Amino acid sequence: MSNSQFKTVTIAGGTGTLGYAIAEAFLNDGSYNVKVLRRKPENENEKAKLLVSKGAEIVYADYTQHDDLVKALKGTDVVVSALNFDPKGAGFYDSQAPLLAAAKDASVKRFIPSEFGGKLKPGAHLIIDDKIKLGQEVEKSGLEYTYIYVGLFQEYFGWFGFDIKNKKVTFFDDGSKVFPTTSLSDIGKYTVETLKLPEARNAHINVAGAHLTLNEYLELFEKATGSKWEVVVDKDVRHRFQNNIEPVPSFLDNFKAVIVQEGEIGKLDNDKFSFTPRPIAEVIEELVKQAS
């Protein structure tokens, strides 16, 4: 149970991969009114139905209508943005800026922007630059804020080149650099607990379920699958992408290379939290089971 000063939390994008885990963690905590903000028009959504069955309220708004968004956020103490960018449209700034403006006018107390990744520097990638631009606006807004950095979602090892079915991994560096990863359920729990952590007010919080090198993660995958994996090392992705050199990497592979090379999050704040994250070996065993 919480001793937080906040009562009502609205998770924007609570039907998404991350947002669902965060909404679930708030519902499990049991001490908040939990609202999930969805985009109009209203439509059927299995995750939304599940969250309602666990006690969440779904609210809808048209993000292009400021007054509509303000109305949807009235009475909310904390907005957690779990919005994504739209590969064909709005970037992280454009998707979240209307939410931030409405939060301010709805007298929301704290805004948690959609960070939840690595702590990349300006200029590292345009997707990240957009998050940084939004962050500058968050800090000017007068609302309290917390940035939460978690490294890679552990459920995204596959996306990141760990091909469990074919026992093959592709590294965009030599695999020797320490790289933070966190499970979605732990990200949810960390997010909930920031609300009662005085150090999280107007702060950057760095947490990780595991902090190993890619080679060490690979060893755990090899142990869980009981076999040696093929390793492909491609350290040249960013250079080829920038200079259009064959084979030209995809936009996404270039983004992954940026993340692995620059996605460190700095000193961890894990010890400020009351729980221990899931053991990484357990998460990897589960991923292997799911893939077989």
Ligand X SMILES: NC(=O)c1ccc[n+]([C@@H]2O[C@H](COP(=O)([O-])OP(=O)(O)OC[C@H]3O[C@@H](n4cnc5c(N)ncnc54)[C@H](OP(=O)(O)O)[C@@H]3O)[C@@H](O)[C@H]2O)c1
Interface with ligand X (CB under 6 A): 13, 15-19, 38-39, 63, 82-84, 86, 90, 95, 114, 116-117, 150, 152-153, 156
Q: What are phi and psi of 249, to 5 degrees?
A: -65, 160
Q: Least CB distance from residue 184 to ligand X, whole Å? A: 9
Nearer to ligand X among residue 16 and residue 175 (C-beta): 16
Cβ neighbours for 282, distance < 8 A, ≥ 6 positions apart: none
CA-CA distances (angstroms) from residue 103 to 194, 221, 244?
A: 19, 43, 42
> What is the residue whose two structure tokens read 């919480």?
2
Q: Least CB distance from residue 10 to ligand X, whole Å? A: 12
Q: Helix H segments across the chain?
A: 17-29, 46-53, 66-73, 92-105, 126-140, 184-194, 214-225, 237-243, 251-262, 280-291
Burial of 41 (0-12, 13-18, 19+ CB in 10 A): exposed
Contact 124, 258 (CB under 8 A): yes
Nearer to ligand X among residue 84 and residue 213 (C-beta): 84
Q: Least CB distance from residue 245 to ligand X, whole Å? A: 27
Q: Least CB distance from residue 96 to ligand X, whole Å? A: 8
Q: Least CB distance from residue 5 to ligand X, whole Å? A: 26
Contact 180, 151 (CB under 8 A): yes
Nearer to ligand X among residue 133 and residue 240 (C-beta): 133
CB closest to ligand X, residue no? 16
Nearer to ligand X among residue 33 and residue 84 (C-beta): 84
Nearer to ligand X among residue 18 and residue 207 (C-beta): 18
Q: Least CB distance from residue 19 to ligand X, whole Å? A: 6
Nearer to ligand X among residue 2 and residue 60 (C-beta): 60
Nearer to ligand X among residue 2 and residue 101 (C-beta): 101
Paired sense of beta strands 168-171 and 230-233, if any:
parallel
Segment 235-240 long-range contacts (CB within 8 Å, at least 24 positions apart): 235/171, 235/172, 235/173, 235/174, 237/172
Buried b (16+ CB within 10 A) or exposed e, 206-224: bbbbbbbbbeebbebbeeb
Q: Least CB distance from residue 261 to ligand X, whole Å? A: 15
